[in-house]
Structure 1
């Protein structure tokens, strides 16, 4: 890339929007996956408006320069890994939001944090349900790029269920509006859904119209400890066959002890697994849910069961579950996975991961959005120890293979990114993989949008 070509981009955009100082651009090379293969970008561009994103993409197409879109950088699959000589297009300064309480929608730019959207709509008595554990620091744009889920998705669904419309800038700089503030709309192909979860490989999302719900009722929580992870998994299957809890989360022994090390909540360090379930049904229906959940836990061998409708107590257990990843990360660097299986295979997945951990002499913790079969195996390892690093990488692959063998997926909500791409074809199959690539080629024929990531 010539200096003159980059100068054209700098001149075409407002002063300071294109950053080339390596002391700044180096901070945009990786997301939280810390992909060691990250390249060094030519520049970082931080636009404010759709029109500026169009300028970037027209320039990139003319000069065949790769563009990696980045939000808050909290991704865990390497989906925002910089490419040598490319552009990192960061949406962190795109932060406008308008809430319409009449239609129960919000129109916002992608740079807002999930928590900021929740706060803005709560001021109007409304609720945006998707709630990744990183909701305080992850962006709405990143949530859409990976179709993020969270703790309440077992009842309320994932990001795609709340995206009514998008504005997207395509590889050639064309800006298209898809969908809009309509609850029912089947005109044309479902292109809005196509871009949700596409990880920046098909276009750059610059605006989103979100569906909102009335404020969530207060939840009651049931917590139970089990002597085996398999027993906890069977309890999950029993509960989901009878009702739809608003939360059903699992922590294994490693996670329980890691959280207890930091929060000192009095968690049972001897338990093999802890389940945290909740119901936000109102009145008598909620009380019946809590009673049923507690009974099912007991029937499956829970050694102690505790329930509460006190908001502070309930939030304490939810916070403990949210804190699992940073608590385990304090024990060492993580290779963090995101595999999911049909609920009937959840016990097989977890016991299989236990065997992989033993075979490779590694600490692997399993936490899970258990109610929908989405697990997060956390491989603790020392990347500076070549032997341990190799064992960790082998375990990472074997867990992926196990999920596929059980009829599951290599990613439930974090995306494929770069780290999981080697397993994508195996999960999808040759024909479906080819179809994915045909869609990619139609929208990005020069392969300049996030090359090497996702599809």
Structure 2
């Protein structure tokens, strides 16, 4: 596509009151995400309200210009990359928490709200928004909606889509629609809300979301169970949920993960520890105390050498800081990584761990595993140096084998990162052609001109 016409650029300036750029050095800031891939847009606009988004979309629809919605650009699969150029719609100015209603337990927010800021805002009112991706300190609600983000608490509370009651969104035609309800129940018509959530910005641009809240749990207890065997830890995960209690988090860290953040746990991790489970329970004070004791006993019974319980919020925060530092700390091992977020049924986690070990042995590349094991969601990080062609090829073959094993065990190739561009070629392995045809048909109904985030998913 040719560069944005001068007349179109002037229209964008007028619509956004000057909040638009086409300066090369500024465009670079919107050309990449966590995949490390680069695609330069032709312009970036920063609308402040929904009608500005609608006017921008109308211009793009008339001219056939690709539009790419973008939050913080923290995605792992290239969902916000302008692979065909065009206009990036950055939502950073649409960052208002419009309403937090502590009587109906509902909030209305704009897509540019930082997820962690929203957590703090609702908790000040004694309320709780469970979805908590590891990037919550900088990712946005809009990005969470686009990818249907999860996080550690999903094992008990579910993922983003479970807390979205309704949306205001702009269609690729420029029309503004409102979907869903503001009530606890509502089944009138097709569920367009759930269709848009998780569609990776390919169907509509969300400009407001109505979110369900919960009462803030009275107490939380965080503990770390240290296992001398990765297989014992993996086996303990499904047993905890089946035979003990349903915790709100069960995070899994393998030996390599531990090595990367060993100095950040706040306690000494012996060299013979091969896996750690970070487990968290919440509820009333009495229930939490009882559940914590039961889990400590249960983990020891399942082979844990030791269970360390955080004495207060500060110690719990230290544990979670170690977990959340993992993604960046992995680069101590190698300069490049491929981060995959597979999911298998929780009773197949031990088998998946064995398959991952085989992949690591075959390729000779470190494969670091951690993540939300409580719901079977394992983040497998294949570490390599892309300067060497052999390493690049081995890494890609490791991904291929990883997905093959995942599907054989009844799992899915992505639990929360989405398809984007990095998993496009693997999607037909999981979803059959008849179902893919339906999905392509839905895209065509919403976006007949294929201007909204083109080149993604299919």
- Give TM-score, length-normalised by structure 2: 0.95
CA contact (8 A) 1:49 1:206 kept: yes
Question: Which residue of structure 1 lines up, in the alignment, with residue 374 of structure 2?
Answer: 371
**How far does residue 4 in structure 1 lie from its aligned partner after superposition?**
4.2
Question: Which residue of structure 2 lines up, in the alignment, with residue 333 of structure 1?
Answer: 336
Residues 1:362 and 2:365 aligned together? yes
Report the 3-state secondary structure (helix = DSSP H, G, I; strand = E; otherwise coil) of the residue aligned with 1:72: coil
The equivalences for 1:106-117 within 5 A come to 106-117=107-118
Report the 3-state secondary structure (helix = DSSP H, G, I; strand = E; otherwise coil) of the residue aligned with 2:343: coil
User: Deviations for 1:120-169, whole angstroms, at most 9, x for unmatched residues?
Assistant: 21222212111111110100100111111111111111111111110110
CA contact (8 A) 2:84 2:455 kept: no
**How far does residue 93 in structure 1 lie from its aligned partner after superposition?**
1.1
Structure 1 distance, partners of 2:269, 2:284, is 28
**How far does residue 295 in structure 1 lie from its aligned partner after superposition?**
2.3
In the TM superposition, structure 1's runs of 4+ consecutive aligned residues that sit over 6 Å from their partners are: none
Structure 1 distance, partners of 2:7, 2:181, is 37
CA contact (8 A) 2:348 2:409 kept: yes
Q: CA, structure 1 residues 137+350, in 2 after alignment: closer, same or farther (shift >3 Å)?
A: same
Question: Which residue of structure 2 lines up, in the alignment, with residue 238 of structure 1?
Answer: 239
Structure 2 distance, partners of 1:145, 1:11, is 27
Gaps of 5+ in 2: none
Question: Which residue of structure 2 lines up, in the alignment, with residue 323 of structure 1?
Answer: 325
Question: Which residue of structure 2 lines up, in the alignment, with residue 155 of structure 1?
Answer: 156
Structure 1 distance, partners of 2:203, 2:249, is 33
CA contact (8 A) 2:339 2:379 kept: yes
Residues 1:127 and 2:133 aligned together? no
Question: Which residue of structure 2 lines up, in the alignment, with residue 206 of structure 1?
Answer: 207
Structure 1 distance, partners of 2:248, 2:220, is 8
**How far does residue 437 in structure 1 lie from its aligned partner after superposition?**
0.9
Structure 2 distance, partners of 1:221, 1:320, is 13
**How far does residue 313 in structure 1 lie from its aligned partner after superposition?**
2.3
**How far does residue 17 in structure 1 lie from its aligned partner after superposition?**
2.0
Report the 3-state secondary structure (helix = DSSP H, G, I; strand = E; otherwise coil) of the residue aligned with 1:432: helix
Structure 2 distance, partners of 1:323, 1:437, is 38
Structure 1 distance, partners of 2:413, 2:20, is 36
Report the 3-state secondary structure (helix = DSSP H, G, I; strand = E; otherwise coil) of the residue aligned with 1:68: strand
Structure 2 distance, partners of 1:52, 1:310, is 46
**How far does residue 211 in structure 1 lie from its aligned partner after superposition?**
0.9
Question: Which residue of structure 1 lines up, in the alignment, with residue 30 of structure 2?
Answer: 28
Question: Which residue of structure 1 lines up, in the alignment, with residue 102 of structure 2?
Answer: 101
The equivalences for 1:274-285 within 5 A come to 274-285=276-287
Q: CA, structure 1 residues 11+232, in 2 after alignment: closer, same or farther (shift >3 Å)?
A: closer
**How far does residue 176 in structure 1 lie from its aligned partner after superposition?**
0.2
Question: Which residue of structure 2 lines up, in the alignment, with residue 440 of structure 1?
Answer: 443
Question: Which residue of structure 1 lines up, in the alignment, with residue 9 of structure 2?
Answer: 7
The equivalences for 1:330-409 within 5 A come to 330-331=332-333, 332-409=335-412
**How far does residue 251 in structure 1 lie from its aligned partner after superposition?**
0.3
Structure 1 distance, partners of 2:440, 2:271, is 48
User: Deviations for 1:23-66, whole angstroms, at most 9, x for unmatched residues?
Assistant: 1011101111112xx43211111111111111111111111111
Out of 417, 424, 439, the position equivalent to 1:414 is 417
Structure 1 distance, partners of 2:123, 2:417, is 26
Residues 1:50 and 2:53 aligned together? no
Structure 1 distance, partners of 2:70, 2:275, is 36
Gaps of 5+ in 1: none
Residues 1:68 and 2:68 aligned together? yes
CA contact (8 A) 1:219 1:314 kept: no
Structure 2 distance, partners of 1:264, 1:300, is 24
CA contact (8 A) 2:227 2:305 kept: yes
Structure 2 distance, partners of 1:291, 1:297, is 10
**How far does residue 228 in structure 1 lie from its aligned partner after superposition?**
2.0
Q: CA, structure 1 residues 284+85, in 2 after alignment: closer, same or farther (shift >3 Å)?
A: closer
Count matched residues.
453
Structure 2 distance, partners of 1:4, 1:284, is 66
CA contact (8 A) 2:234 2:349 kept: yes
CA contact (8 A) 1:238 1:296 kept: no
Structure 1 distance, partners of 2:345, 2:266, is 34
Structure 2 distance, partners of 1:406, 1:452, is 29
CA contact (8 A) 2:266 2:315 kept: no
Question: Which residue of structure 1 lines up, in the alignment, with residue 221 of structure 2?
Answer: 220
CA contact (8 A) 2:12 2:45 kept: no
Residues 1:87 and 2:112 aligned together? no
User: Deviations for 1:304-362, whole angstroms, at most 9, x for unmatched residues?
Assistant: 22234533223322222222212213333221111101111111112111111111111
The equivalences for 1:295-306 within 5 A come to 295-306=297-308
User: Deviations for 1:270-311, whole angstroms, at most 9, x for unmatched residues?
Assistant: 211111112113233223322222222122211222234533
The equivalences for 1:426-437 within 5 A come to 426-437=429-440
Q: CA, structure 1 residues 262+246, in 2 after alignment: closer, same or farther (shift >3 Å)?
A: closer
Question: Which residue of structure 1 lines up, in the alignment, with residue 39 of structure 2?
Answer: 39
Structure 2 distance, partners of 1:374, 1:90, is 29
User: Deviations for 1:422-443, whole angstroms, at most 9, x for unmatched residues?
Assistant: 1112111111111111111111
User: Which range moved further: 11-20 or 130-139?
Assistant: 11-20
Provide the alpha-carbon RMSD of the alignment.
1.6
Structure 1 distance, partners of 2:54, 2:238, is 48
